[in-house]
Amino acid sequence: MSTTASNGIDVAQLIDTIEAIKADPNVGEFTFRARSTWQSGTHSLGEIGAFTHAGEQDHTRVAPFRLEGDEPPVLLGQNNGPNAVELLLQALGFCYAVGYVANAAARGIEISRMDYEIEGDLDVRSFLGLEGARAGFTAIRAKGTVSSPNATPEQLRELCQYVQDTSPVRDNLANPVPVQTSLEIV
Amino acid sequence: MSTTASNGIDVAQLIDTIEAIKADPNVGEFTFRARSTWQSGTHSLGEIGAFTHAGEQDHTRVAPFRLEGDEPPVLLGQNNGPNAVELLLQALGFCYAVGYVANAAARGIEISRMDYEIEGDLDVRSFLGLEGARAGFTAIRAKGTVSSPNATPEQLRELCQYVQDTSPVRDNLANPVPVQTSLEIV
């Protein structure tokens, strides 16, 4: 395992983080948050700001990230932003990339390219109240493209499997997670 | 059921869409896509562009939506954008809002406010290769806040349940979806 920075990942910080969590599992605990404010029709504004780490609020973000969510015209919107299920696919690509390059760095594998194309099949009948397939994606396909100047194909394929096994977003898609929903009427 | 536009939703178009899908279920079929290109460290650029509807490519987006994904410093990044699991939470809020206001419009319920706060608990030990909880969120909580000038609390609560039952993003979180991952080495 190399301790020099690799792939833009500070491997020394990565190792320190792992050791800190081994010493106190609470250091591994996060609560993330997102907020959305409906505008009109299928258009909402999103905000992703502070999160909680080990019971304390993180203050490194000076302002929340702002996103727009909307539907295309065929789904009653005006293309002010991607739709919700497209964001789900984007999240999987981002998650896979972080896992791949960080674990590569920890193994001394240099990465020169790491792209993902994610696609998902969705039948909107359930969403529209008709009999049909499940409401969400029936299948998601992720295709990674990787280049490395110093790894074997076997190492790169093994890492792809490792990343699938430890990806938070893949876990939440491939396996059920409890979603508790409440409503306040004001 | 009202056919006038309501909540910014074109209810006549909504009904036409439902009738078109009843006549030809293929009209309800979509394949959505997202692409990500790794930059450095935990930072990737995302693009969400054209999708396939009923076997044909949609051309209403003149350019893809661009997103940035990154981690905060405590997770080895530089806050160039939200992280992947935060995007997952944002997607749930956007999805719930679309479902709520569109179904409200179809029922003649006016919505004057529809916000969501979504949060999720995540233990990063599995992601870092340590023994611990599952890789993804162990729990997700969604809190909606709604106002309507013409609906009863019972109608608004019933609609909240209906939206949970038909939300594509909630379905893909609460129930498993097959995720197929491949890797090309170039």
**What pLDDT, in 10s, does the model give residues A39-96?**
999 999 999 999 999 999 999 999 999 999 999 999 999 999 999 999 999 999 999 9
Q: How far are the Cα atoms of A56, A69, B110, B153, B183 from residue A40, in angstroms, in the given order?
A: 35, 11, 11, 21, 40
Q: Please tell me whether residue B44 adopts helix, strand or coil conformation.
A: strand
* Global confidence as pTM: 0.96
Q: How far are the Cα atoms of A83, A92, B10, B169 from residue B106, in angstroms, in the given order?
A: 20, 33, 9, 21
Say whether residue B28 is in contact with chain A using an 8 A CB cutoff: yes
Summarised one tens digit per residue, pLDDT across range A103-144 is 999 999 999 999 999 999 999 999 998 988 899 999 999 999
Q: Is A143 exposed, middle or buried (0-12, 13-18, 19+ CB in 10 A)?
A: middle
Q: For an interface test with A, which of B40, B60, B156, B172 has the most A Cβ atoms less than 10 Å from its Cβ?
A: B172
Reference B182, options A160, A95, A66, A139; nearest CA is: A160
The answer to whether B35 contacts A118, with C-beta atoms less than 8 Å apart, is yes
The CA distance from B121 to B125, in Å, is 13
pLDDT band per the 50, 70, 90 thresholds, residue B1 = very low
With 90 as the cut, is the pLDDT of residue A20 above it?
yes
With 80 as the cut, is the pLDDT of residue A167 above it?
yes
Summarised one tens digit per residue, pLDDT across range B101-151 is 999 999 999 999 999 999 999 999 999 989 888 999 999 999 999 999 999
Summarised one tens digit per residue, pLDDT across range A137-165 is 999 999 999 999 999 999 999 999 999 99
Start-end of H helices in B42-117: 84-106
User: Which chain B residue is nearest to residue A92, measuring alpha carbons?
Assistant: B84
Of A13, A90, A180, the CB nearest to B141: A180
Asked whether B101 and B113 are in contact (CB, 8 A), the reply is no
Say whether residue B89 is in contact with chain A using an 8 A CB cutoff: yes
Share of chain B above pLDDT 90, in %: 94
Which positions in chain A touch B136 (Cβ < 8 Å)?
Answer: 167-172, 175, 177
Asked whether B168 and A135 are in contact (CB, 8 A), the reply is yes
With 80 as the cut, is the pLDDT of residue B45 above it?
yes
Q: For residue A177, what are the β-bridge partners? A: none
**What is the per-residue pLDDT for B4?**
52
pLDDT band per the 50, 70, 90 thresholds, residue A5 = low
Summarised one tens digit per residue, pLDDT across range B147-164 is 999 999 999 999 999 999
Say whether residue B115 is in contact with chain A using an 8 A CB cutoff: yes
b/e burial code for range A80-105 (CB count within 10 A of at least 16 → b): bbbbbbbbbbbbbbbbbbbbbbbbbb
H/E run at residue B56: strand B56-57
